[in-house]
A and B are shown apart, each in its own frame.
Chain A
Amino acid sequence: MISSFARYERQRLARCRLLDELLRRQLPAGGGWSHRGAQFGTEPTALALLALHSASIALKDGIAPLIAHQGAEGLWAAVGDGDGINFWATALAVNTLSILGTNPATYIESIRALVRLRPVEGSWLVSLKFRFLDRHVQFDPRKYGWPWVPDTVSWVAPTAMTLIALERAKSRGIVGGSELQRRLRLGTEMLIDRACPGGGWNAGNAVVYGVPLRPHIDTTAAALAALRPRYGLPIVRHSLRCLLRNSACPSPYSLAWMILAADAYKDGGMDISPAINSARDHLTSLVEDPRTIEDTSTIALAALALGSEPINNPFEVEG
């Protein structure tokens, strides 16, 4: 039986090692972080900044690497010299800048672009196709969220992250209006529509050719974090129960996501502490030597998930 103090100390030391590794991996000249090599990545940079911020570690260059890679209309590509737009990366960057207390003027255009964005099923022609002609994938195209990239359909992960970022911006009075409300409602309805029949979320399809798909831990976690204000819905509570069964997951990436999503429900009435404690113990073991973890996003997420309680949770919806 590990004492509470011993457990706390193990987690604290593991987190210190993760944060040290993040600092070691910073690209030259304060150029942000890469997924696993030398190329700037928006996601690892945003997550690393959040992890370091949660530990009150100040960086000389601060948010500069993130701002430096902001493109037209305030949108971000996924990787450094990438010239494409990626809405997951954009939502993550906006959420990060908001949490870090950046002047909203730096990302208000990004928020407006996210609110304006329509996935392809937002067009009536494509919506009709999916409603009446192409029914191999069961979903309601009238309920749409956000795609990964332009000119494609909406998927769970970018929708969840965009909802989290927009809810935060709304709660801080940075953005408002009926169009924002409409997009928040549609995005939320989309997530609920795409839930797997047995609970949780796959990448975005729940039933294909009549077969229910299995939920993924990280996607389920992101969706649950975004749906925190909808805790009263049976599908949300059921999916949370499903998520909490994964505390022995062998991958630190999914496990960290699970802890962060579950943490957002700590005041929801369900006793989630045993699952979170077990998951944090397991995560501590999995990240014993962070140098062996290639993906920088995983290191940052694990550092966030092992934060001293109450966790400074960047994916908890404000409101």
Chain B
Amino acid sequence: MSAPASRRVFGAAVIPGTGALAVRLMLSTKSLRDRRKAGSRVAIIHQDSYGSRLDSRLVEGLRLFDLNLRGKTVLLKPNLVESIPGREVNTNPRLVGSAATAFLALGAKTVLVGEGPGHQRDTLLVLAETGLERELQERGIRFVDLNRDDLMKVALQTQFTGLEFLWLPRTVLASDFVVSMPKVKTHHWAGVTLSMKNLFGVVPGVVYGWPKNPLHWRGIDRSILDINAAVPPHFVIADGIVGMEGNGPLHGSPRNLGRIVLADDPVAADFVCMRLMGLNPLRVNYLAQAAEFLGNGTTDRIVQLGEPMLAPQEPFVVLPEFAHLRI
């Protein structure tokens, strides 16, 4: 697929009716190398609050995966957007801190936390206002602003956006074990934002801007696929203790889901999160495509650890544009 093809698709996308067909053509995955594992593992941990038992619950959950972290550098990538009073916008700082402590307890040599917010240029302000700065200071964990890291040019192995390469932070590329830590939320452009969409935050604002607008113009779905194929996270810890429904990712309502989702496959993690939200993952373009080559979405290839899957009594509220996501 060539860049000119991508520009044509943009042209088509502004003319109603032709855009959806063009996107489908662009998203054909038949020629892509199948990177799916034979089986993926997901654990659902019941946790009602960000209280004192969080550290131990997380260690217990991670032990189910028997991870070999000895001597490794672990990078935690939470979802930090900005602090809005009364809104559950960001991955909870307590969960990020607990994850850092848990990975150190499981043998990691170093744990870093890194993020590159998409709209707010002052990353340290987001860090301070969300409380994550204090949490990390108390636990002695270092933070890296991925928007302003040294960068490397990485050739893309997939061509969904038509981009030949992405500039990516050296810290991400040098880490042995990258953990995507999304907040479980609905999203007014992408439908949902989970572990795969969370990887937008590794794309550096210093090159792509605030917001990372070239990715929007190339298509959010397509960008998610290219980024995740370039730097697939090794693990997922999804913050579903309190999620967000409705007009996410900033102004939706808090939704008590009472779950943390752990997984060794981001596609499997996002499929399970969506089912917990009462939404159909196969109706999200990038997830349906990702399940064909990047990771596992079908239940026969996902081993469920921990607690059984229970759909919520009421599906997450979505904007009318995304009513088709509801099961």
Contacts and interface: CB of A to CB of B under 8 A. Distances in A.
A136 B319 CA distance: 12
Interface in B201-235: 206-211, 213-214, 216-217
A252 B128 CA distance: 11
Interface in A71-129: 77-79, 81-82, 84, 86, 88, 120, 125-126, 129
A314 interface: no
Interface residues on B, range: 35 or more
Interface stretch (B37-45, B117-125, B268-276): B117-125
Given A36-B145, A82-B167, A211 B209 contact: no
Contacts of A252: 124
Contact of B209 (A158, A214, A254): A158
A150 to B, nearest CB: 9
Interface stretch (B94-102, B148-156, B279-287): B148-156
Interface in A31-87: 34-39, 41, 43, 77-79, 81-82, 84, 86
Contact of A157 (B84, B121, B150): B121
Contacts of B206: 35, 41, 43, 78-79
A203 interface: yes
| Consensus secondary structure, chain A interface | loop
B188 A208 contact: yes
A35 B84 CA distance: 27
Interface string A188-204: 00000000000000111
Interface of B: 11, 14, 16, 82, 84, 119-122, 124-125, 128-129, 145, 148-151, 153, 167, 170, 188, 206-211, 213-214, 216-217, 247, 250-251, 319
26 contacts: A35-B148, A35-B149, A36-B145, A37-B150, A77-B207, A79-B167, A79-B207, A82-B207, A84-B207, A86-B209, A133-B14, A149-B207, A149-B209, A152-B209, A202-B119, A209-B247, A209-B319, A211-B250, A213-B250, A217-B125, A250-B128, A251-B124, A251-B125, A253-B122, A294-B148, A295-B145
Given A251-B122, A251-B124, A39 B209 contact: no
A32 to B, nearest CB: 14
B327 to A, nearest CB: 24
Interface of A: 34-39, 41, 43, 77-79, 81-82, 84, 86, 88, 120, 125-126, 129, 133, 136, 147-149, 151-153, 155, 157-158, 202-204, 208-209, 211, 213-214, 216-219, 249-254, 294-295, 297-298
B207 A152 contact: no
Contacts of A219: 121
Contacts of A204: 211
Given A149-B213, A203-B121, A249-B125, 12 more contacts: A35-B148, A35-B149, A37-B150, A41-B148, A147-B209, A149-B214, A203-B210, A209-B247, A250-B129, A251-B125, A253-B124, A298-B124
A28 to B, nearest CB: 15
B251 A211 contact: yes
A249 B167 CA distance: 31
A4 B305 CA distance: 65
Given A34-B150, A37-B149, A152-B209, A211 B125 contact: no
Contacts of A38: 150
Contact of A295 (B128, B148, B247): B148
A158 to B, nearest CB: 7
Contacts, number: 118
Nearest to A148: B209
Contacts of A251: 122, 124-125, 128
Given A152-B213, A216-B120, A218-B122, A129 B14 contact: yes
Given A82-B167, A211-B251, A214-B84, A88 B125 contact: no
4 closest Cβ contacts across the A-B interface?
Answer: A148-B209, A37-B150, A251-B125, A35-B148
B121 to A, nearest CB: 6
Nearest to A202: B119
